[in-house]
Amino acid sequence: MRLLFIFLSTLILSSGIALLIAYIQISSPWPAHAGVDERGMAYVFLLGINIALVLASSTIFLNLIEKIRNETLYSFFSFFALPIILTVNILSIVGFSVSYAIVFWPFFVVLTLHFIFYRKYVNAKLSLKDKI
């Protein structure tokens, strides 16, 4: 249940932050290209990237396997491996620039916080199990 909460809250929180970034970006001056105002595309772009990253992070459910859950490194890879690979692939397609990299930080901040809290929960559970 905890992993499902992490998965869904990562989607909601990182999407909300991404939409806030899109709103700030749209309210700044944006040049029209060939007479077409493309400001609304920022919402679509950010939400599409965010949904792809959240789907890539579905590997967090590998933490249901005890061997992966108890090893911090395996757990880290189950949280971050596919999202990092997807991020590198997308950035290599659009070009490694700060303006594109800003799109990814809300997702990774939320996922990192969830990982830290999840590891604290698992470590507390393991230490309680060792005491018994």
Contact criterion met (CB below 8 Å) for 43 and 22: yes
Q: What is the mean pLDDT of residues 39-53?
A: 79
Give the per-residue pLDDT at 97.
Answer: 76
Whole-model pTM over 0.85 = no
Give the per-residue pLDDT at 37.
Answer: 60
Q: What is the mean pLDDT of residues 95-109?
A: 81
Q: Which residues, in sequence order, are CB contacts of 11 under 8 Å at separation 6+?
A: 50, 51, 54
- 3-state SS, the chain, equals CHHHHHHHHHHHHHHHHHHHHHHHHHHCCCCCECCECCCCHHHHHHHHHHHHHHHHHHHHHHHHCHHHHHCHHHHHHHHHHHHHHHHHHHHHHHCCCHHHHCCCHHHHHHHHHHHHHHHHHHHHHHHHHHHC
Please check the confidence at residue 58 and state whether its pLDDT lies above 60.
Answer: yes
Residues 84, 90, 96, 98: is their CA dihedral positive or negative?
negative
User: Which pair of tokens denotes residue 10?
Assistant: 């990562």
Give the per-residue pLDDT at 36.
Answer: 58
Average pLDDT, the chain: 83
